Amino acid sequence: MAASIFVILFAGTIAVGFLSARWKQTSLASLSEWSLAGRSIGPWISWFLVGGDLYTAYTFIAIPALLFSAGALGFYAIPYTIVCYPLLFLILPKLWQVAQKHGYVTGPEYVRGRFGNRWLALAIGITGIVATMPYIALQLVGTQVIFGALGFTFGWNLPIVISFLLLAGFSCFAGLRASALISIIKGVLIFATVLVAIVVIPMHLGGYAGFFAKVDPSKLLLPAATAANWGQFSAYGTLALGSAIALFLYPHALTGLLSAASANVIKRNAMTLPAFTLLLGFVALLGFMALAAGVAHDPAFAEGFRQYGASFAVPAIIMASFPSWFVGVAFAAIAIGALVPASIMAIGSANIIVRDVWTMFAPWRSEASEATAAKVFAALMVVAGLLFMILIPMKDVVNFQLLGGIWISQTFPALALSLFWRRAFTGWGLFVGWLVGVVSGTWMVISLGFAGSVFSVHVFGVTIPSYIALVALVLNIVVSFVLTPFLRTVDKGSDETADADYEQVRHVPSTVPGTPGLRPAL
């Protein structure tokens, strides 16, 4: 029964993806309409879209798995998804205003307009694409765990290949509108599943006090820090802060946010999206519940843990605690959770390719040809993600994702700080800073043998284990700031934005020919 319910829900959701092209009967022949839904997504749908975009299928598998294997350190995901929303509230409405006025559909496009430096924009764009590739693959990995738990393991990952080729199809056919409607289905299923799970599973384990009592105490608390070595305390804090900074820099996050109908929609969502963080906190506890239930020692789940490791903790505790029909609903919720972010990742990357990479060599002949090319590139991104997952060992996919998070953090000065300190940086100064951040971050990961993302920094005899992305970002900002006075005279890039573009306004009409202004929210 679980498999039947799963197939019905999953197939129905994909059908909704294709049918969403008829939503509002709007032409998808322009890039803005196809990839940003004409910047007309209202507050409710935007809330589901951004939440579904940021909280991925892999998140709902990996965070409990981290608590299952590493213990309390895995809870860093909770404060980081709290810290990120004040950053979102401060930063993204300004970026939305500038992008709306000038018709920008990508972050790198804003960078090129802001600094007049196409090489900096290209660097930011390629960083986003490279960081997104393993992210798409990890959505496939999350889905693979669910398919494996259901017994859909036949034929060269055939179920995953078919489902994600269908995903590529509705992404090309309907664009962001498909992701928006599917995100509502995902949100409802995920919230329903988690709310039931956090009530029912503890009942089988003697309540919350009962299951916490069954977890090894060493996993419940971080090891104590010392004056000479801050240990996991500094690692925890820097992981939370660095991850919060990186979260909204990914192309898919920017795509979802730039589709909002107004800057105020983004601000409202920044205040209400922490509901997803509460949800994530409950999801994380599933890792401890799986420990307390001892599912890793259950012969019925031995093959799943052998094949997928700690990532099998969530499927195992769900199958051990619920009847078959609910297992089908819960697994469908997680698998559908991969469709929204994977689709927007492909769309966001395709936008960068057509607006920030291809135009380096040749202009588009028309809006229609640009949109058509973006649809093709979106499909190719999904196919590339499939090949990435199938051909590259899982350990290497995770390593690439580790590097991707470090690299995308190095775009923060160009994409975010430039919105507030417009004359503090030059394009070439930011380019050198980006290069220093990427190279130093990569070196630190390699020096650790890809064994983790925390590097020990020694300051005045004190050891401060810190998230590599944050360490590299500090170097990046310092280099960019120091070089700016020396490069200002040789930096010939022109800024096509104006001071007024960054001031808070209620309505920002478009001044770009062929780019629609604000329309009634969807």
Q: Say if CB 172 and CB 360 are below 8 A apart.
A: no
Beta-bridge partner residues of 466: 455
pLDDT at 92: 94
The band of 513, judged by pLDDT with boundaries at 50, 70 and 90, is very low
The full 3-state SS of 137-152, as one line of letters, equals HHHHHHHHHHHHHHCC
Task: Give tens-digit pLDDT for 411-424.
Answer: 999 999 999 987 78
Distance of CA 60 to the CA centre of its chain: 13
Closest CA relative to residue 228, chosen from 28, 45, 68, 458: 458
pLDDT of residue 156: 54
**Mean pLDDT score of the chain, rounded to an integer?**
88
Helix (H) or strand (E) segment spanning residue 16: helix 2-19
Tell which phi-psi region holds residue 367, choosing left (phi > 0), alpha (psi between -120 and 50) or beta.
Answer: alpha
Query: Does residue 245 register a pLDDT over 60?
Result: yes
Provide the token pair at 405.
């998070």
Q: How far apart are CA 253 and CA 88, in angstroms?
A: 11
Gap between the Cα atoms of 327 and 265, Å rounded: 35
pLDDT tens digits for range 307-335: 888 999 999 999 999 999 999 999 999 98
Q: Averaged over 488-511, what is the pLDDT?
A: 71
Does the pLDDT value for residue 504 go beyond 80? no
By percentage, how much of the chain surpasses pLDDT 90? Answer: 52
Q: How far apart are CA 138 and CA 62, in angstroms?
A: 10
- pTM for this model (two decimals): 0.90
Residue-wise pLDDT for 167-210, tens only, equals: 889 888 888 989 999 999 999 999 999 999 999 999 999 999 98
3-state SS string for 329-367: HHHHHHHHHHHHHHHHHHHHHHHHHHHHHHHHCCCCCCH
Structure tokens at 96: 């939305």
pLDDT at 492 over 80: no
User: Facing residues of 260 across strands?
Assistant: 41
In the beta sheet, which residues pair with residue 458?
463
Beta carbons within 10 angstroms of residue 222's beta carbon: 16
User: What are the residue boundaries of the structural domains of the chain, listed by start?
Assistant: 2-392
Q: What is the pLDDT of residue 353?
A: 94
Query: What is d(CA 380, CA 359) in angstroms, rounded to the nearest whole number?
Result: 18
- What is the predicted pLDDT for the residue at 151? 84
Question: Cα torsion at 510, 512, 514, 516 (round to 10°)?
Answer: -10
Instruction: Count the Cβ atoms, other than its own, within 10 Å of residue 324.
Output: 12
Q: How many CB atoms lie within 10 A of CB 121?
A: 29
Give residue 502's pLDDT band: very low, low, confident or very high (50, 70, 90).
Answer: confident
Q: Is the pLDDT of residue 485 over 60?
A: yes
Structure tokens at 298: 């259950």
Which superfamily is assigned to 2-392 in CATH? Answer: Sodium/glucose cotransporter (1.20.1730.10)
Strand partners, 163: none
Structure token digits, residue 412: 């923060």
- Indicate whether 511 pLDDT > 50: no
Q: What CA–CA distance (Å, rounded) separates 258 from 95?
A: 8
Asked if pLDDT for residue 374 goes beyond 90, the answer is yes
> What does the pLDDT read at residue 518?
47
Average of per-residue pLDDT across 212-225: 87
DSSP structure string for 275-302:
HHHHHHHHHHHHHHHHHHHTGGG-GGGH
CB count within 10 Å of CB 169 equals 16
